Chains A and B, each alone.
Chain A
Amino acid sequence: MSQIYLNLNSLQFGIKSNYKSIIIDPRSNLYNLTYPLSLINNSKLIINKTFNLNSIAQNEQINASLSRFNKFKKILLTSNSIIDLNNLKKLSWNGIPMEFRSISWQLLLNYLPSNNDRRASTLKRKRKEYLDSINQLFNNSNDGPIKDQTTWHQISIDVPRTNPHLKLYSYPIIQKSLERILYLWAVRHPASGYVQGINDLSTPFFQVFLSNYLNLDNNKNSLDNFDPSNVNQDILNAVEADTFWCLTKLLDSIQDNYIHAQPGIIRQVNELKDLIYRIDIELANHLEKEGIEFLQFSFRWMNCLLMRELSIDNIIRMWDTYLTEGINGFSEFHIYVCAAFLVKWSDELKQMEFQDIMIFLQNPPTTNWTEEDVGVLLSEAYVWQSLYKNASAHLKSHS
């Protein structure tokens, strides 16, 4: 246990010393990784108990965690020429340790090639492509760089309102980054353009990718103590470009959510409604009796993928799982997650009238939710999906 103690003490806050090689190939981040970093939460408990590790349960938890850690390490540092994505998916479903998250997300999204020989060159090309587009978009014009004033205006009032409770997003250097990402995306996707809420969706990527260059402990607030103002520009450029491409991949899978009349969201809301009629008919009947329309409360759940209802740490854990579900994670599996989320409050909701239901669902009590709560939610969603996925097509809509 003294090893854990030493590692805790040697934790330094700031940029990793090998950041240059991480920029070139994120795998270089993994070679020197030692296991205890991922267990700070547990080890803190242990240290508080003055190394008295008599709790078997804790021991087992650490062993399980160590074993997961080593499995990720083994998959990602394979000596084969190709990283085994299927195994990575299986392993990631239950959550990715923070040390492996950035590279795993990029692999699962097919942004980062699983082929070892192509990784560095692809990253280099993608980042250059992004930077060139940004330069073209913002610099090559004398009468102001912005062509689409409406879009720019909307982005520039939404970026300061993005995750306002997290300090990281209050720094101008980060806000500028998000503005560029969102504006370039909007220009390249005229059928939808920028839609409020897309700003939220860029932040898990940004935060996870940035963290990969930092010495952070597992403490949730540690990113809040980080001042990005003096971070090396190469790091920020890489994080910004990677965020842009990964956001693009994510949004490609839910495009219909943001085009005119938002048909993707309407479909998902109806599917959620059908599901609730099957999973929890009493709740469904109660909502109907109270005059609650599913659109009224679940529109936002679909539009922002529950980012307004759960903390960003919870969302990041959730995306570990979503990303393993392939192209459908954010459009299909998400509906089952929403169903599990709604049914969770069934007992309370059935006691409430219209207005209390609306107000409750606009601000559900999830402030104290931990990763375990999210894990349970995802497992419940998985069960509903296996029970109802193929049944839903045959049954009539209740709308």
Chain B
Amino acid sequence: MTDDYSYDYEYLFKIVLIGDSGVGKSNLLSRFTRNEFNLESRSTIGVEFATRTVEIDGKRVKAQIWDTAGQERYRAITSAYYRGAVGALVVYDISKAESYESVSRWLKELKEHADANIVIELVGNKSDLDHLRAVPTDEAKNFAAENQLLFTEASALNAENVDLSFHQLLKSIYDMVSKHQFDMNDYSSQAPSKGPTVDLTPKQNEEKSSKGNNCC
């Protein structure tokens, strides 16, 4: 499923995965990047990293994905990674109402710490647990529409819609980039061998200035 052309890419997009602890972020990531699912995966500590290169409109797009720990205590560390991200997956668990209720808090986090143009997708994970559903699809869909978020329900367990949700996000970012709504130099790399051009350095004291970015 994963490919070996990881250095042969034209665009490099940094994506963050956020949402409450236990909603399945790490498994969505391992399903997308390695086609693996683990019923008993360990909790994510701080931030973990994976990549996958996919083809979008005939271009090779490398997604560099930062998976974060959901717990409040890690917020100071994890929010530093929002900087420079061009996309975010905000994940909740369709069988856990609290995790859906937290979504607005996560959106607020993004507003405070991420770039204003970041493309956001709402993902209702664990769609295989339909018999335990606590969040109606329509409700989440409407919420997403009102807030200009992309939306999917997916299941890391049975792989349903996992590729689709990542592709949908990457495509949307790609469309923005190719329409030059982003500064190309910031968000894509034409010189892959030199490594990422996106600034990946977490900056502890950047919070103030990134707030300022929201107005531009």
Please choose the segment from B48-56, B130-138, B139-147 that sits at the chain A interface, where 4 or more of its residues have CB less than 8 A away. B48-56
Interface residue B47 (Cβ < 8 Å from any Cβ of A): yes
Least CB distance, B99 to chain A, in whole angstroms: 10
Nearest CB of chain A from residue B97's CB, rounded to whole Å: 13
Choose from A150, A164, A258 the contact partner of B42 (Cβ within 8 Å): A164
* A residues less than 8 Å from B73 (CB atoms): 192-193, 195-196, 258, 260, 262
Query: B20 CB to closest chain A CB, in angstroms?
Result: 9
Cβ-closest chain A residue relative to B196? A354
Interface pair B77/A154, CB less than 8 Å apart: no
Measured in the bound complex, the distance between the Cα atoms of B46 and A293 in whole Å is 13
Is B76 an interface position by the 8 A CB rule? yes
Taking a contact as CB atoms closer than 8 A, the residue among A266, A295, A299, A355 that contacts B51 in the complex is: A355
Interface string of A346-361 (1 = CB under 8 A from B): 0000000111001100
Given contacts A161-B40, A260-B76, contact A196 B200 (CB under 8 A): no
Q: Tell whether A296 pairs with B202 under 8 Å between CB atoms, given A157-B22, A355-B64.
A: yes
CA separation between A137 and B77, bound complex, in Å?
32
Residues of B within 8 A of A290 (CB): 195
Q: Within the assembled complex, what's the spacing in Å between the Cα atoms of A358 and B46?
A: 14
Measured between beta carbons, the chain B residues less than 8 angstroms from A296 are: 47, 49, 200, 202
B69 interfacial by beta-carbon distance below 8 Å: yes
Q: Which residue in A192, A295, A355 is a CB contact (below 8 Å) of B77? A: A295
Q: Does chain A have a CB within 8 A of B129?
A: no
User: Is there an interface contact between A160 and B195, defined as CB atoms closer than 8 Å?
Assistant: no
Note all chain B residues with C-beta closer than 8 A to A358: 49
Contacts of B44 in A (CB 8 A): 196
| CB–CB B50/A291 < 8 A | no
B148 vs chain A, min Cβ distance (A): 30
Q: Does A158 contact B (CB under 8 A)?
A: yes
A196-B45, A300-B45, A303-B46 as given contacts; A154 in contact with B201, CB under 8 Å: no
Taking the complex as formed, is A261 at the interface, i.e. its CB lies under 8 A from any CB of chain B?
yes
Chain A residues closer than 8 Å to B201, beta-carbon distance: 291, 293
A73 interface contact, C-beta 8 A = no
Q: Which B residues touch A195, using CB under 8 A? A: 71, 73-74
Q: Kindly identify, within residues 56 to 80 of chain B, every residue whose CB is under 8 Å from any CB belonging to chain A.
A: 64, 69, 71-74, 76-77
Give every chain A residue within 8 A of B38 (Cβ-Cβ).
164
Known A158-B21, A308-B42; further 16 A-B contacts with Cβ < 8 A: A153-B98, A161-B43, A196-B21, A196-B43, A197-B43, A261-B76, A266-B204, A291-B195, A291-B200, A293-B200, A295-B77, A296-B49, A296-B200, A299-B46, A308-B45, A355-B49
A-B contacts, 17 listed (Cβ < 8 Å): A150-B72, A153-B98, A154-B21, A158-B21, A160-B40, A196-B73, A196-B74, A197-B43, A290-B195, A291-B200, A293-B201, A295-B202, A296-B200, A303-B45, A308-B42, A354-B195, A359-B49
